[in-house]
Amino acid sequence: MLDVADTPSQKARIEFDTSVPMKVMLTVRLSARRAALCGALVIAAVAPRAAAAAYAIVMHGAPALPKNFAALPYVNPDAPKGGRLVEGVLGTFDSLNPLIVMGVPVQAVRGFVYESLMARSDDEPFTLYGLLASSVETDDARDYVTFIIDPVAHFSDGVPVTAEDVVFSWRLLRDHGRPNHRAYYSKVVRAEIIDAHTVRFDLRGGDRELPLILGLMPILPKHAVDVSTFEQTTLQKPIGSGPYVVADVDAGKSVTFRRDPNYWGRALPINRGLWNFDELRLDYYRDANSYFEAFKAGLYDVRSEEDPTRWQTGYDFPAVRDGRVIKESFPDGLPKPASDYVFNTRRPVFADIRVREAIARLFDFQWINRNFFYGLYKRSASFFDDSELSAYHRPADAHERALLAFFPGAVRPDVLDGKWSPPTTDGSGHDRAPLEQALTLLQSAGYTLKGTKLLNRTTGHQLSFEIMVTTRDDERLALAFSANLARAGIDARVRLVDDAQYQERLTSFDFDMIEYRYEQSLSPGNEQSYYFGSAAADEPGSRNYMGVKSPAVDAMIAALLSARDRADFVDAVRALDRVLISGCYVVPLFYLPEQWVARRAYIEHPAHTSLFGYLPETWWHQPMRAPQ
């Protein structure tokens, strides 16, 4: 096998050129398997190149922190180290590889074990500072990006992190990773190993986010990954360069991470005040009730709560009353994670937008919020709720209208003018106005109500579909929605499935309707293609669950990716929001206005909450006080 050390000189450069057939310059003997892995290979002696490298890279504007910053603003840089944090997780797992489509993975491996070249500041929309890469270089057009790897960086087994590992990870994830990885990394035209610690990526133009996406690419050890089995689920303990190693695995039940005592990056400014626990354990629970009861019993330390009923009434137990458990609310500045019922428009039953709009009108948010959730939810109305990126109740400005002018009819007039709102009811549970509006739309779409059944006038079949859910709480909500749909003669069946079946059906788009929560950042980018792009609609494992194929959506995603300043970027995102709202791809449900967390009193957190909300990686175990 050939690596940098096999070259005639330490000044040798290896180029992986994906745009030309495989060729070898110099006499090099490669096995067929190695050739298949490396793709095109060119070796040539070059002189070292000086780089105008920077300590950070930002999507729009300038970094908020100076080059010599001591720590992130939302951490306690003097937080004590030690102790253990136990977190509960609802669900199960069958894999320790979160980078592939197959299986139900332990997502925490990404971040705890696998690191990226750079790390995100959670107090800025999208700024990266050095991690594995001590510096980064790119041009104004962002046609290339060069990363200089910290020479002290190493994996948990002591092997140094090199440029070969970076290129290996890029190729591995491009060819064998999740669909979003394949889409992102295929935009790289060529990868060059300049020297053992320097790697350059030449990029296709038009995607200004791509250098940052590459900066967040997880770096895997070339020497410890078997490419031939990478796409298979595995419980083999992974090797990474991160602050923790996997210590123990109880399949499907728990995973324990232990701090790596030789972690190379513990003194970096980007890591000061982070990763404070000696041990992190994730305990998995199969249903929501046992998950909550375990917290009440003291079996895990921190619980994020998203059920308003439970938050309002369920925390009256002794540990809360005597102060051993503390309830807190945390603000955040992100678009709020909004739950929606998602139509799978690949299904013929949802092909007509009038049918989708009619069904959306039959969700009685006002009644459900009052009777199920103590009025604590807010109604979702956007894919970027409660942020500057939302188009909701904002008329489109001239720039937005110019972007959308090439796609007449893609945006409803009331959405364009900022006058659209989700349907409302009087909250009585018996409001007939939404029912009459829905039936009018359904009649125009070719349906007729005969007795208690809504029938297609051409086929005579009842309008019916399945709502797939995974928890009893979701089942309860879906049954309430189903009852409203039945008033219009629609047969909406609710199917409760386990996590493994749910994930398998999501991956293959084998569902009619699901409840899904869209989580967005203040700097949406390439992942929007993964969520909403036409190419992702037919890509198993993508998150384009709606099956949307819209030239207007694709164009707005392209516009936000190419935006040079924040104002143009915000306009492009709002234009995307308008197209998605107008397509009626979801039944808007609700979101929580703030983050709710309950924690054991011995788990402490910094005084400042980041723009992204609370972050467990900044928390610590309060040392035991000596008796007085």
Residue 628 has pLDDT above 60, yes or no: no
Domains 56-229 and 338-591 alike in fold: no
Coil vs helix vs strand at 588: strand
pLDDT confidence tier of residue 526, bands split at 50, 70 and 90: confident
- Give the strands of the sheet with 144-149, arranged side by side: 42-45, 12-17, 188-195, 198-203, 144-149, 133-138
Say if residues 499 and 104 touch (Cβ distance below 8 Å): yes
When the candidates are 3.40.47.10, 3.40.50.2300, 3.10.105.10, 2.60.40.420, the CATH number that belongs to 338-591 is 3.10.105.10
- Architecture of 56-229 per CATH? 3-Layer(aba) Sandwich (3.40)
Residue 18 has pLDDT above 60, yes or no: no
Domains of the chain, by residue range, sit at 4-45, 56-229, 338-591
The radius of gyration of the chain from alpha carbons, rounded to an integer in Å, stands at 26
Largest CA distance in the chain: 84
Q: How far apart are CA 522 and CA 514, in angstroms?
A: 25
Q: Give the tens place of pLDDT for each residue, 382-395.
A: 999 999 999 999 99
Residue 438: DSSP 8-state: H
Q: Give the tens place of pLDDT for each residue, 65-84.
A: 999 999 999 999 999 999 99
Q: Say which residue, 169 or 472, is predicted with more confidence.
A: 169
Q: How far apart are CA 545 and CA 505, in angstroms?
A: 11
Residue 9: the pLDDT is 33
Say if residues 611 and 124 touch (Cβ distance below 8 Å): yes
Token pair of 312 as six digits? 């309002």
| CA dihedral for 572, 574, 580, 583, sign (positive or negative) | negative
Total-model pTM: 0.74
pLDDT confidence tier of residue 306, bands split at 50, 70 and 90: confident
pLDDT confidence tier of residue 625, bands split at 50, 70 and 90: low
Q: How far apart are CA 559 and CA 485, in angstroms?
A: 38
Q: Give the tens place of pLDDT for each residue, 585-622.
A: 999 999 998 999 999 999 999 999 999 999 999 999 99
Q: How far apart are CA 105 and CA 108, in angstroms?
A: 9
